[in-house]
Structures are given as structure tokens and as C-alpha cells.
């Protein structure tokens, strides 16, 4: 069956995980939470200390490179790492920023400058390196092509070129990324409901009330809501499209209401395991230690214990607690995110898609015309990235 995922994780010849046909067709492993359990348990409900302990391990390997986009998570990690380095006598970290001159949707330069100015105004020391990106991060571009050829198949995450470029800078040291921040620090049902109770419902917009209703709803109703909200994978044949949408909705409906359980289950999926393994293999290949503090099992366990059953934090409150006054309030309250779609589906991808003849994809599963149209659209769906790599490999092998 296409959507069965009971088999153990399989590893390819390069050490990267192998993907199933379902993973590739839908764009990521879509099975339910609970595929793995956390390896750390701690009675200490102190996420503040746990975050700094994870960053301390990174600072002990120089250079300690922080992937700094200007978003909330990367700004938090840069601020805490630089402050910790000064307090404990470590070498200052290096903030590495990738900039996309030809992609306005990926432009976060104003946020980056604001964070840097604020930290330096407080006397916090760090180096700041900026690199202009053109076609390097294309899904089948010059960075990814040798990785895909060596592995013999698509890789998850498909946008792995970003990790390759960052790890090159961190060779011999450590690379710190904000992976895990969205799942761990936000999107917990109990935190939403508790915040509404504290405010007694005052000042909520219509969209806020929709979020509240979805958070409070029983599982069957949340399943229906999720089915309505699932992005339609238009490149799949109808039967598989419906099956994939049902799986995604079922997973969303299973999110626990209790705050600590929601936190502990947030990164226990097969998709997370594959992504962590893939990035780790790339980093080790560059003699680089990959450190993802917000996805660290010890941090997650401490964060879950801190909020207990029902006293969890909202995203803003959590970032404020962990930053300990190091970041400006505007950054803490930021809700928008940049989009990096154009750099991933770049010139190499579009040139390939324009001449693609359907090779490399199962026509019983995939509609080739719909898939090609998706690749050539103004905003190619992220879910088609693995199929792009699979199709390109099929053509590259036979050409």
C-alpha cells in the first residue's frame, strides 16, 4: 500500500536515509506522530538552562557558526550564544547570513540589521558574514547535483543545499540552526486556550476565534477542519490525492490537548528523524558538529516539564523567556516569515521542467502534465520538490 510506513528506517550507500514512493509523491513523510520516542528525560523544568547547555556544546568547537536569517529562532540563538560566549570566555560565534538579491520574498535584511544593531548596542560581540545566493541552492543545482548522484535518489529535506553551504563555512567547528523552533515553541492547543482565558477573549479577531475553535474542538471535528485546510496535491492522481489528504488530516487531529504531551510529541515523526539524520550526515562529512538546540531532546523535555499539563507558553512568551531581555520586542512579536521558494525552484529546475517528458515518475500515481505545470508556475508547491529530484535523476542517468 502506498501510504504504509511500518518499515524501519532504511539507509542508502552514502549514509542518507532512503525514501519511499509515498514520501516522494507527497513531498515529505506524512505518517503520524509517535514514530520515535525522545531519548532524554529530565526532572529539571528549566528550558532556559537547557537551551544554554546545548549552545555551550556548540561554542566549544570553533568556529561556532550560527545560521542567522533574522527570524525569531535564529535571532534567539545568535543572541544567547553570543551572550554565553562572552560570559564564559568562549570565542565569539559567527553569524552566517544567506541573502537573495533576486528574490524579494526572501529578503529579511531589515530584520537582520535591526537584530545586529540591537545586540551590538548592548555590547554583545560576534562576527557577521553575509553571502549572496544566486543559483547555488536550486533543488537540482550545482550543490545538490553531486549529492543526488551519489545517493541515487531524492533526499529529505529536498532543500538540503542550504545545509551543505552552511556546513562548508563551519568545517572543523559547529553549525547551529533553528530547526525545531516552530514545532516546539508554538502551535500547542493548550497554550492557545490558556492565552484566551487570560485575556477573557478580549481583542480577538475572527481568525483568532477560528484558531481557538480548532484548538478546543474534539478530534473528529479537528479532522474535518484539517481536511478542509490541507493543500491539494494536484499533481497526484485523484485516489492517491484523497488518501494522502486523509493521512495529513488524521495526523493533525491526533495532536494532544495537554501541553506537555503536545510538546513531547511534536518532533517524534519519521519526517523529523529522516531530516535530522540527513542534515547530520552532511555536517559530519564537512567535519562539522550539527547543533539544533530547539530540537535537542533535553531542551524539549525541560520545556515540556516547565509548562506541565496546562501551563504552557505562547510562542511570544517562550521566546521572551529564553532570550532573557537580549532581543528587541518587535522581533519577539514578529509573526511573518520569509519564503525561499524562488531560490529552490531556480533556473536549473525551471530549465529541466520546461523540457521534461515525464520520465522518472509513475504515471499511475502522478499526473505528468499537472506536475510540469506546478513546477513552471509562479509558486511551485514545495511538495513537488522530491519528484523534481527523482525525475532529474532519471534523466541524468539515461543521458
- Residue 23 in domain: yes
Task: Band the pLDDT of 204: cuts 50, 70, 90.
Answer: low
DSSP label at residue 352: H
pLDDT of residue 111: 92
- Residue 141 in domain: yes
Q: What is the mean pLDDT of residues 328-342?
A: 84
pLDDT of residue 42: 58
- Residue 2 in domain: no
pLDDT of residue 398: 55
pLDDT of residue 45: 83
pLDDT of residue 397: 64
Q: Are residues 62 and 203 in the same domain?
A: no
The predicted model scores a pTM of 0.90
> Which of 265, 284, 302 is a domain's end point?
265
Task: Band the pLDDT of 167: cuts 50, 70, 90.
Answer: very high
Strands 94-99 and 174-176: unpaired
Q: Are residues 222 and 82 in the same domain?
A: no
- Residue 232 in domain: yes
- Is the confidence at residue 325, as pLDDT, over 50? yes
pLDDT of residue 1: 39
Query: In terms of Cα–Cα distance, which of 340, 350, 243, 342 is closest to 26?
Result: 243
Share of the chain above pLDDT 70, in %: 91
Task: Band the pLDDT of 177: cuts 50, 70, 90.
Answer: very high
- Is the confidence at residue 2, as pLDDT, over 60? no
Q: What is the mean pLDDT of residues 110-137?
A: 92
Looking up residue 97, the CATH number of its domain turns out to be: 3.40.50
pLDDT of residue 31: 67
- Name the residue range of residue 396's domain: 12-186+270-399
Query: Which residues, 6 or more positions from 370, have their beta carbon under 8 angstroms from its beta carbon?
Result: 234, 235
Amino acid at each position: 500500500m502506498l501510504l504504509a510506513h511500518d518499515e524501519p528506517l532504511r539507509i542508502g550507500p552514502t549514509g542518507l536515509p532512503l525514501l519511499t514512493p509515498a514520501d516522494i509523491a507527497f513531498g515529505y513523510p506524512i505518517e503520524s506522530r509517535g514514530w520515535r520516542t525522545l531519548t532524554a528525560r529530565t526532572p529539571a523544568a528549566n528550558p532556559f538552562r537547557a537551551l544554554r547547555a546545548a549552545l555551550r556544546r556548540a561554542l566549544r568547537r570553533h568556529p561556532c557558526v550560527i545560521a542567522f536569517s533574522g527570524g525569531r529562532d535564529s535571532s534567539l540563538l545568535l543572541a544567547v550564544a553570543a551572550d554565553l560566549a562572552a560570559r564564559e570566555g568562549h570565542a565569539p560565534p559567527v553569524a552566517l547570513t544567506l541573502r537573495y538579491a533576486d528574490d524579494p520574498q526572501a529578503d529579511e535584511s531589515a530584520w537582520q540589521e535591526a537584530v545586529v544593531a540591537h545586540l551590538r548596542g548592548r555590547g554583545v560581540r560576534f562576527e557577521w558574514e553575509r553571502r549572496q545566493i544566486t543559483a547555488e541552492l536550486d533543488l537540482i543545482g550545482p550543490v545538490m547535483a553531486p549529492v543526488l548522484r551519489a545517493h541515487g535518489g531524492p533526499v529529505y529535506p529536498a532543500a538540503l543545499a542550504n545545509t551543505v553551504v552552511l556546513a562548508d563555512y563551519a568545517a572543523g567547528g559547529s553549525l547551529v540552526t533553528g530547526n525545531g523552533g516552530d514545532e516546539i515553541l508554538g502551535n500547542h492547543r493548550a497554550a492557545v486556550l490558556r492565552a484566551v482565558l487570560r485575556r477573557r477573549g478580549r481583542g480577538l479577531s475572527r481568525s483568532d476565534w477560528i484558531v481557538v475553535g480548532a484548538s478546543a474542538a474534539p478530534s473528529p471535528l479537528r479532522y474535518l477542519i484539517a481536511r478542509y485546510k490541507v493543500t491539494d496535491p494536484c499533481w497526484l492522481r485523484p485516489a492517491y490525492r484523497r488518501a494522502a489528504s486523509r493521512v495529513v488530516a488524521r495526523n493533525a487531529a491526533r495532536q494532544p490537548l495537554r501541553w506537555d504531551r503536545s510538546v513531547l510529541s511534536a518532533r517524534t515523526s519519521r519526517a523529523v528523524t529522516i531530516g535530522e539524520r540527513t542534515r547530520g550526515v552532511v555536517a559530519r562529512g564537512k567535519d562539522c558538529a550539527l547543533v539544533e538546540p530547539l530540537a535537542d531532546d533535553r531542551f524539549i523535555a525541560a520545556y515540556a516539564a516547565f509548562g506541565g499539563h496546562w501551563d504552557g507558553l505562547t510562542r511570544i512568551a517562550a521566546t521572551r523567556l529564553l532570550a532573557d531581555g537580549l532581543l528587541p520586542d518587535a522581533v519577539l512579536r514578529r509573526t511573518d516569515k520569509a519564503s525561499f521558494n524562488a531560490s529552490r525552484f531556480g533556473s536549473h529546475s525551471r530549465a529541466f521542467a520546461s523540457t521534461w517528458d515525464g520520465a522518472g515518475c509513475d504515471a499511475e500515481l502522478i499526473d505528468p502534465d499537472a506536475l510540469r505545470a506546478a513546477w513552471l508556475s509562479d509558486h511551485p508547491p514545495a511538495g513537488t520538490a522530491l519528484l523534481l529530484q527523482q525525475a532529474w535523476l532519471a534523466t541524468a542517468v539515461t543521458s
